[in-house]
Amino acid sequence: MTIPESPTEVVHQDDSIEPDTPDVEAERRQRRRRSLIVTAGVLVLFAIMWFIATSTSGSVANIFASVIRAAVEPQTAAVAIAVIGLNIHFGFTGLLNIGQAGFMLLGAYGFAISLSRGLPLPVAILLGIATAAVFALLLGIPTLKLRGDYLAIVTISAAEILRYVGRLSQLTSWTGGSQGLPGSEYRDPFVALSFFPEGNTTIGPLSYQNTGVNGWWIRVVAWVLVLICTAFVFLLVRSPWGRLLRGIREDEDAIRSLGKNVFAVKMQALVIGGVLGALGGMIFVLPSSVQADSMGRAMTFFIWTALLLGGAATIFGPVLGTILFFAVRILIRGVTSEVVPASILNTQQSDQFSWVVVGIALMLLVIFRPQGILGNKRELQFNA
Amino acid sequence: MPETTTQSRSGRTDNPLADPAARRALVDGIDPVPGVSKPDPILRVDNVVRKFGGMTAVNVDHLEVQRGIITALIGPNGAGKTTFFNLITGFDKPSSAPSLFNRPEKPAAWSFNGQPLSNTSASAVSKAGMVRTFQLTKSLNRMTVMENMLLGARGQTGENLLTCWLKPTWASQEREIEEKAKELLARFKLLRKKDDYAGSLSGGQRKLLEMARALMTDPTMIMLDEPMAGVNPALTQSLLGHIQSLRDEGMTVLFVEHDMHMVRHISDWVVVMAEGKIIAEGRADVVMSDTAVIDAYLGAHHDTDLSDDSLLEDLPGSQEMLHEAELYQAEIADERAHRDAPAAGKEETP
Amino acid sequence: MLSGIDIEVSGPDGDQLLTTGENGGFLLQVGQEGEYVLRLVEDTLPEGVTATNAELTFKAALAANDTIQFTPRAVNFGLQGTVEGAAVGVGSNLFLQSTVSGLRLGLLLALAAVGLSLIYGTTGLSSFSHAEQVTLGGMVAFMMVNWWGLPFLLAAVLTVLVCGFTGYIQHVILWKPLRRKGLGLVQLMIVTIGLSLAMQYMFQVLVGAGTVRVIREAPTPVTFGGVRLTDQSLWAMGIAVIVLTAVGFALLRTRLGRATRAVSDNPALAEASGIDVDKVVRLVWIIATALAGLAGIMLALVLNGIKWDSGMQILLLLFAAVTLGGLGTAFGALIGAIVIGLVVELTPVFGLPGDLKYAMALLILILLLLVRPQGLLGKAARVG
């Protein structure tokens, strides 16, 4: 089926419509200011929750404390990195990757299996990255020359294939099969790197071991990595290469007619975003275990929701979106189980209900604010 | 290249073909028959055939485009002009292209500036110096005018992934490109809009932007697909001026057009297509008095009414017709813009 | 039925070793909710019998009772071979049996896939929530039969009507206004992802996370030509064939059917030729969701129950079927579905691990896309 040219194309052919010429600089300044206000607003909200959680007791304080804990979880950081990767794919290049969880899973397997086989940590990280890069090449070579939806079908299918293969009982000695690979098999070299002193540290509602399996060490490393990835993406997309990405997102044929190798650039974007996904996967499994099912389709959908929430094609959107995604869900769950009597919704149902709200929120978000919290409506309308 | 002795008109360029008399002398020396060979062809096309379903959209045996002049490619709706453009610029593949499974008797082959271009990608065609614009303008609407322009520049170190994150490696080149873009924008009267989103420009301004962006690549030959479609008459004159000055600077121009007035006004040589074939070639006035051309404009393709309900009466059999209709779709838009084009053609005929 | 075979069970309770009894089954006591792994001790198998899939995983959800009656059927473990001349389970007819199962799965997939394909064809939308429409069918039937005590057949008819009505409602309040609003296809696709998430967890809130059975009585097995099927399966296949034939006939022979195909072929042209595209699309939504509901009821019968993620499990198979057949061609989807069904059920027969049967279908999809991007029946799209 050929999808007809967008009707706006025809409308613009008409010269009689005198277009408005907005002052782009002023608009940009205004947008930057608005982004700052929104970010500051979110920070203030967290600060208020922090204050209530530390200075009072009772159910409200408990809910707020758990919201803050969810926001700084290492797994939140891990997903944020994967979202930053997807932002390169979808936000900047317009690639429809709906198998980002597959990249996470590959990174996690590459990393964890290498470590469990006794390879040194840097080699394990490189192997995790390399597997994801090769995976991206394999997916990209046949699909990047075809229409966008083929990449979508192939990425989601390939991610599922990875998950099924990871669960295979025949591979139990490598991947742990459906039981998964317990964290104790690969975690030690990472934990050993910690230069934090022994003991526990409590800051407000956050109280963790300094090093430990799931303590301050992994949190600090994870969030520093998030910052590094954000800075890396910032450097990439403000360059002429980043301009090329956005050009491709707008109209591949136009870029091709200017003599650029569109295929190569799309491939580079696919690999970089995939490698970021793999890095996210490595962080994701460090405090827990490698479970194929924890990085399945549901994870991909969460990544998409977080990206759209924060705002695709923005620098800080992915991070803000991910934090809000996990924090708000915990908030909804807490409020639901507090407000709705257990006879109507028990604890488990409250949790399920919070996911229903997430689903509906995703729909409303895409319908009413497709540019997300930080996005630029003029720049980012979906093009399909 | 034939010797031309007259001084150039403006004197600011040393291009001999900037002189109308020299061009006249040049084209007078060429036989006005389809597929005629030119003294100094920049583009040679052989056996380019494109079939959609059972219908042949393009079937060009041989065509040469002379260097340094403006050549117009005209023809009625559905003549296959845009498809032909797509084929030679690598946006579509000829059915006659040799491949692993297909060894046609007369394989499609075309070369630009002596460099074979059959079986290359659209970007390779552009890199060879043959840069095109599109009938439905492909300005990048959610990027600014300046960004659109900067994308056109060739050989940017900042487009290399490995070094792009180091701003010092590309900052100075970026400034040079920006200067060049500003000059071009000023020439096309778009400088004032450089920080606006391209989508906020009018249709005509976007045509200009697309042309300016193509010029950022420093092309040897520029191929314009209906540069006038949808452009308001006030802009048309300046657009024509731009095209002529490109030629005077030594660039080869090939353009597809519907509007006979414009063709007559600026083109040095005219190639007429109908039903996929080249039916006539020659100077504008010569071609327009050609009976084959008049027939093509008045007779062809006015027997297919797209709004006819009978298209859907018998679907299995009409699949091919639907295909054919799809083929015309690109042309429908321009039909709207030039509903009276055949009439114009008639008036033009002496 | 093989007795005296040892099966190791590991799960959240810890490990236990069980031995199959006279009837070939055993009783597993489950103390905790979670994932259990059954591992066949291959040494205890009789001479000449091999297991291609010695490990099974299932998720136990605690219902009223906390024991699970489990009969390890030969196909579960992929047992192959003969004991003293007699086939193990269905061993000797494994190929035939699997082919019939594949056909059964294919027909049920086809019911849903034809609808998915019609939606894609007429609107260009890849609807992820179509899988939940399938689950919805099973769930509504379950509620009608078990909560309100309706007779099954009446419940089935009502369910199909209810599901079709949900399609109508969706079209009216969601898809039509959103298209009017000018949402792009990618945006709409993400809306369906949100809807799918919301529906999945809504099912969990309403009926829980476990498997529910529409009909509680055990089905009657029927054997013919060495193939064992339940009577319910036979009914399901029969109805699927009839319904699919009717849909095919309607598409080919009725005015509305032809209009639907015209819209699929080229919406702009169809609109221009005076076809009421909106009416066609509305009808497509109703038919597609009704067919998905029917598929859901039958899936619930054939698979002995339905679960909140039953639809999601087959979603990718549906996409595979639609893509395999050629995006947007209804008859292609039918053929694609049968092919996918056969691939899924025949994978274990050819000695591949049973866990990979879904993965195999997706792999074939990817490989086919590389060779023939337009699918089996699709036509090549015009470029430029």
ipTM: 0.84
pLDDT in tens, C73-106: 544 555 544 443 333 443 446 788 888 889 999 9
Q: Which residues of C touch B307 (CB under 8 A)?
A: 272-274
SS (H, E, C) A237-257: HCCHHHHHHHHHHHCHHHHHH
Asked if A382 is an interface residue toward chain C (Cβ–Cβ < 8 A), one would say: yes
**Amino acid at site C281:** V
Instruction: Give the DSSP H/E element, type plus range, for residue C282.
Output: helix C277-302
Nearest to C273 among B83, B307, B327 (CB): B307
Q: In the predicted model, is pLDDT for residue B31 greater than 50?
A: yes
Give C166's Cβ-side CA count (13 Å radius).
22
Question: What is the distance between the alpha carbons of residues A248 and A255, in angstroms, rounded to a whole number?
Answer: 6
Which residues make beta-bridge pairs with B111?
B44, B116
Gap from A248 CA to chain B (nearest CA, Å): 9
The three-class DSSP label of residue B60 is strand
Question: Is A33 buried (19+), middle (13-18) or exposed (0-12) by CB count in 10 A?
Answer: exposed
Size of chain C in residues: 384
Contact A246, A100 (CB under 8 A): no
Asked if C259 is an interface residue toward chain B (Cβ–Cβ < 8 A), one would say: yes
**Confidence (pLDDT) at C24:** 52
Gap from B58 CA to chain C (nearest CA, Å): 14
**Confidence (pLDDT) at A344:** 84
Pairing of strands B221-225, B252-257: parallel
| pLDDT bucket at A72, cuts 50 / 70 / 90 | very high
Q: What is the mean pLDDT of residues B159-173?
A: 92
Asked if A52 is an interface residue toward chain C (Cβ–Cβ < 8 A), one would say: no
pLDDT in tens, B103-145: 788 888 999 998 999 888 999 999 999 999 998 889 998 899 9
pLDDT in tens, A195-225: 999 889 998 889 899 988 899 999 999 999 9
| Backbone phi and psi for residue B282, each to the nearest 5 degrees, phi listed first | 155, -175
Q: Name the CATH topology of C95-371.
A: ABC transporter involved in vitamin B12 uptake, BtuC (1.10.3470)
Nearest to B315 among C258, C269, C384 (CB): C258
**Confidence (pLDDT) at A227:** 97
Structure tokens at B11: 């004197």
Contact C142, C300 (CB under 8 A): yes
Q: What is the mean pLDDT of residues C237-264?
A: 90
Q: What is the mean pLDDT of residues A316-338?
A: 92
Q: Which residues of C touch A360 (CB under 8 A)?
A: 194, 198
* pTM of the shown model: 0.82
Gap from C265 CA to chain B (nearest CA, Å): 8
Question: What is the distance between the alpha carbons of residues B335 and A351, in angstroms, rounded to a whole number?
Answer: 59
| pLDDT bucket at C324, cuts 50 / 70 / 90 | confident
Task: Write down the residue that tokens 């040079």 correspond to.
Answer: B176
Identify the top-confidence range among A57-61, A134-138, A357-361. A134-138
Give C173's Cβ-side CA count (13 Å radius).
7
**Confidence (pLDDT) at C80:** 47
Nearest CA in chain C to B324: C382
Contact A134, A106 (CB under 8 A): no
Question: What is the distance between the alpha carbons of residues A271 and C133, in angstroms, rounded to a whole number?
Answer: 35
Q: In the predicted model, is pLDDT for residue C20 greater than 70?
A: no
Q: Which residues lie below 8 Å from residue B242, measured CB to CB, with a gap of 6+?
A: B187, B188, B208, B211
Question: What is the distance between the alpha carbons of residues C272 and B17, in angstroms, rounded to a whole number?
Answer: 48
Q: In the predicted model, is pLDDT for residue C380 greater than 60?
A: no
Cβ <8 Å between A241 and B158: yes
Q: In the predicted model, is pLDDT for residue B347 greater than 70?
A: no
Contact C146, C212 (CB under 8 A): yes
Give the domains, in start order, of chain A with CATH numbers: 57-193+204-378 (1.10.3470)
Cβ <8 Å between B312 and C384: no
pLDDT in tens, C259-291: 888 888 777 788 888 888 889 999 999 999 999
Contact C111, C295 (CB under 8 A): yes
Which one of C189, C192, C197 would you mutate to disrupt binding with A, by most A Cβ within 10 Å of its Cβ?
C197
CA-based end-to-end distance of chain B: 32
C-contacting residues of B 3-32, CB under 8 Å? none
Q: In the predicted model, is pLDDT for residue B9 greater than 60?
A: no
Structure tokens at B252: 């080869």
Beta-carbon neighbour count of residue B124 at 10 Å? 16
